A and B are shown apart, each in its own frame.
Chain A
Amino acid sequence: MRVPLSWLREYVDVDLSPEALAERLTLLGMEVKSIERRGAEWQNVVVGELLSVDRHPRADRLSLTRVSVGGGEPLEVVCGATNIAAGQRVPVALPGAVLPGDRRIERTEKMGVVSNGMLCSGDELRLTGDADGILILPSDTPLGVPLGDLFGDVVLDVDVKPNRGDALSIVGLAREVAAVTEAVVRWPDAALTEAGPPTVDRLRVDIEDPSLCPRFVGRWVAGVRVGPSPDRVQMRLLAAGIRPISNVVDASNYVMMELGKPIHTFDAAAIHDGRIVVRLARPGERLTTLDHVERELHAETLLIADPAGPLAIAGVMGGAASEVSDATRDVVVESAIFDPISIRRTAFRYGLRSEASLRFEKGQEHRLARIGADRTAKLLADWAGGAVAPGALDTNPVDPEPGRVAFRPARVNLLLGTSLSAPEQRALLERVGMEIETAPPGDVAVQVSAGERPLTVVAAAAETLVAVVPTWRRDIAIEADIIEEVARVRGYELIPATLPSTPVPAFRSSPVELRDGVRGALVGAGLAEVVTHALVSPRHLERASWARPITAADGETAAAGTPISVTNPLSADHAILRQSLVADLLDVVSTNARRGRTDVAIFEVGRGYGRVGEATQEWWRLGIALWGAFEIPAWNRPVRDADLDDAKGVIELLARYLGLGAPTYTGIADEPILHPGRAAEAVARDDQGGTGLTGRLGELHPGLAEAWEIRGGSVVVAELSIRGLTTGALPIPRAVAPSRYPDVERDVAVVVDEARPSGDLAAVIRTRGGPLLQDVRLFDVYRGAPLADGARSLAFRLRFAAEDRTLAEAEIEAAMADVMNALQEAGGRIRG
């Protein structure tokens, strides 16, 4: 909320500098977001007096004026406005002046006459809304004084929190200032001179459901002359961020800013029979609102109506037909209180949230309805010359009793960590308008919690005080609210900083430990971590979804269910929750490639989301994408593009890191997003046979790479489920002392059909290699003469060892014989 200090000072004395005031308010919880100095931008604009106004000798539409700006010779200034006359005081921009919008004023020749500056309109100074005429200043405005000294203002932009509707007003903030400075708040003058027939003879109000409109105060102001508001009023409203419209509309806006009470004014002639009905809309009813939109009214809409039909959407927007216009003679002032929830829903429903609805939906102090009506009527009388009809129409004139909230001073200290005496607490609370009573004898019910889960506890009267809460503080209902007020008024800066000395919870391992370990391992392997959007476009999902979900590793959540859509998406690009990481990673590859990168190696540890019936499911996966040079290009080695084997290398690294056996790969040809000949399922197991890592990897299908506009080289992607990614700790490896006896290595080469996976043969060797076989490693693949076409030779190196002895040649020969037999049984030919 924008608060002009000149306005604030009307209700409370402020001795502080704007900066100091801003700091005090901020420390009180009314955060000042910025301090604006209005008028700081006017340079070289001073008050002048028009000595003479004559017609310009060569232009009928211009005047030639002589202006005194105090000392020195009078200046000749040419002016195009028609509202000026000799004797008036006006703002004069002297040559060299700068006006808002960086408009520079120089000495210029206008139709043969030199103009030594410019007379300014209110709009040119951003001081009032009037752009048609020169701003005529009061006749006692001191001559020659810089305008900024007289009409400049300081505006604080205060962030009023949603629970403090009472502070969404100048008076409300004056109360906050008073809480700091202990000054006295002065209320605006609402004393009225009344004349003519009484209001109740002219106006009737029926309220169908008082729970939706607990109070309606109406006043009748007769014989107004609609026109612009006084300049000072316009200046204030503009400074507060409100556009001046007319004296009637400005009066209601002025009261809203001043008291926080939204007011609506009707052209009395538009109210049939002077009869107002406050009711819900009926089926099929329509209303053209002030913004000239005809709206079909929803049944939950609270209306101000008359016997003929709707006049306004209560608390949200008036109707065009009953709007105050230049022809309006009599004005009906509506100052009502509506159900906050009803107003909030209605404002959202029609997309019409305004300064008024914002205040209504935070709730209104009951007595403000009458004060607001009277104050508006007074301003109408003062600014528009209306005659205020005696009395007000008031549906609920009795103000409710203020709330009483019991609190325990000891509890205040227990929660805050302070040691404030009861009298100290009382004094602090009195500064925000509370009265503190001693508790009645006997047991006192202390409200600890309210709302859906009310909780009261019983305390002894001697340990309890009762705060009588000012009626404007609708946010204070329970003991904790009182505790906050004590802390707030005293200042949070005085809360002693201590360190917790309560028991420390038992050890619990971190659910991100394994995830962090995996991330570290991948970074060590040269991959960059990315974080992409969980919300993706449906097109993404269509293009790059796995045909079958990635199998979950042991203990991990399965990727299950249908995709979850956002019902109110910001854009179609982010309308659905992802089920796989691949599409997002392709986006990153594509973006970086477009920006000139030639090497992309990335990973993301992220969640997928699915809906199963009425429940939702989330699962963690690791996604990897490699494209372009796998190693940093350098002068001292050839560039080598990443391929499937690099992805396998990364997966094998992870398997080692996680204490799993080497992954096994199984070819798959039915995964549409991958190259059918270069795609595999990977599984790595622990020594108990548990599945520690599962997933899919492969070269992206060339068609898909094209769709992502990734050109040159293939993209290799993988998505893995890893045991422990959700909550796991890193496994602790068992360390084994190396055998003191030498290893023995033997090679075997086997010729097989090209289509025969090497993994099969490695598996054959592993199963038939006997207990001494430690390790099998493919070390060479050969094609060509003398081998037949379509055949290849796979060379494996086998490592044998025993912990307790040097192996005898015969043992190894026996094991090798078994292996070779097994390979032959498996359809291979041993190459001599």
Chain B
Amino acid sequence: MDLVQLTRDLEDLRAEALGQVAVAPDSAALEELEIEVLGKKGRLTGVLRGIGALAAEDRPRVGAVANTVRQTIEAALRERGAALRNSELEARLRLERVDVTTPGRPVRRGSLHPSIEAMGDIARIFAQFGFVVHESPEVEDDRTNFQMLNIPPDHPARDLWDTLYVDVPGHLLRTHTSPGQIRVMQAMRPPIRALLPGRCFRYEAVDASHGFEFFQVEGLMVDEGTTLGDLKGLLDQFAHAMFGARKRTRFRPGYYPFTEPSVAFDVECLVCGGSGCPACGRSGWMTILGAGMVHPVVLQYGGLDPERYQGFAFGMGPERISMLKHGITDLRLFMENDLRFLEQFR
């Protein structure tokens, strides 16, 4: 083996390899080619095996040629490799195309019941004014539900609450959350700011605005010097928070045996804005709650001295609030539990 022959072999290898690189069909083939030509046991190594037979002074010259050949081939491989990867990537992207207009894989989310949510909304608003949630029994004793709220037996005011009685002596299903007032006063000292949400029951035929089971939210605030004006101001804040800051409100006399003075609280009709429509009985107003200053007898039953302490209570139906807010016209929907209705309350 002489220098000339070896140099020619290297040149041949280069030419042949470059030709093969140029026609390599894909990156896999190119990788194989690289190993075949430049790998440890590749053709270049094979050619250079002859270098041992050369004269010592020729060896560096062959080495230089071999290096050039290697570099040339490597460059060609890189270039060809890049081109191939590019076109392969393009091919893959073309292949991976999907119909992006199809709907996604749906993720399930449940819904919160509007009665409970309305109670939560009410509680959140009053929490800003220091009112904390309390709860009391639904199977209530007759005295707490009526007498202690200044509703003696056989009093005509009992007509306001058609009652479901139970087979436990002296007990009934609470007709309102108001007995909670007594329980809160008995349990804690003023200052009291309590909110009492919960289920109530009445002997009442079911129609679009009545049910025998429904929820109420009662509020109670008692301290020295709490006034009817405070009640009015607070209810205004509530109405604005619940229905919108610009809604007009109306504070007028009402009647409850357990408050004196008693109040009915209206907000301008959310349907007609106050001009009068069938939804508001053409009055322009919708009554959203009843309220009043806690009757002295009730304070006494709560264990408080009515000369020292005074305060107010209010009560509202969360379903009614929810109906007004969401434009629902039938109370029965709340307990029917048709998922098509419930799922609208996310």
Contacts and interface: CB of A to CB of B under 8 A. Distances in A.
A29 B251 contact: no
Contact of A531 (B134, B155, B263, B334): B334
Contact of A161 (B137, B255, B336): B255
A525 B108 CA distance: 7
Interface residues of B, number: 102
B227 A565 contact: no
Interface in B243-268: 250-255, 257, 260-264
Nearest to B230: A500
B84 to A, nearest CB: 34
B252 A492 contact: yes
B303 to A, nearest CB: 11
Given A480-B296, A611-B168, A632-B106, A499 B230 contact: yes
Interface string A508-519: 101110001001
A126 to B, nearest CB: 22
A372 B230 CA distance: 45
Interface in A534-567: 534-535, 564-567
Interface string A160-201: 011111000000000000000000000000000000000000
B229 A505 contact: no
B27 interface: no
Contacts of B193: 504-505
Given A34-B282, A502-B223, 10 more contacts: A162-B157, A480-B260, A499-B233, A505-B192, A516-B120, A566-B166, A567-B166, A603-B110, A636-B105, A637-B105
B229 A523 contact: no
Contacts of B154: 340-341, 344-345
24 contacts: A27-B252, A414-B225, A415-B261, A449-B297, A478-B296, A492-B263, A493-B252, A495-B232, A497-B251, A500-B233, A502-B191, A508-B132, A512-B135, A519-B116, A524-B109, A528-B111, A528-B343, A567-B166, A592-B339, A601-B108, A616-B171, A618-B138, A635-B103, A636-B104
Contacts of B301: 453
Contacts of B205: 570
Contact of B297 (A451, A530, A534, A635): A451
Contact of A529 (B110, B173, B282): B110
Contacts of A163: 156-157, 255, 257
A820 interface: no
A33 interface: yes
Given A414-B310, A616-B139, A632-B106, A535 B212 contact: yes
A492 B253 CA distance: 7
Contact of B255 (A29, A34, A567): A29
Nearest to B140: A616
A533 interface: yes
Contact of B165 (A455, A567, A574): A567
Contacts of A592: 337-339
B300 A449 contact: yes
Nearest to B154: A341
Nearest to B266: A26
A414 B109 contact: no
Closest 8 CB pairs of A and B: A417-B229, A29-B253, A526-B108, A417-B227, A161-B255, A484-B261, A497-B233, A523-B110
B338 A591 contact: yes
Interface in A306-363: 340-341, 344-345, 358, 361-362
A428 to B, nearest CB: 13
Contact of A532 (B135, B160, B170, B335): B335
B228 interface: yes
A488 interface: yes
A597 B115 CA distance: 23
B234 interface: yes
A829 B103 CA distance: 48
Contacts of A597: 339
B36 to A, nearest CB: 40
Contacts of B236: 497
A591 B339 CA distance: 10
Contact of B133 (A448, A497, A511): A511
B306 interface: yes
B77 to A, nearest CB: 38
Given A503-B191, A519-B116, A529-B116, A452 B147 contact: yes
Contacts of A525: 108, 110
Task: Output the residue of B120, B132, B340 with the most chain A CB within 10 A.
Answer: B132
A154 B243 CA distance: 34
A786 interface: no
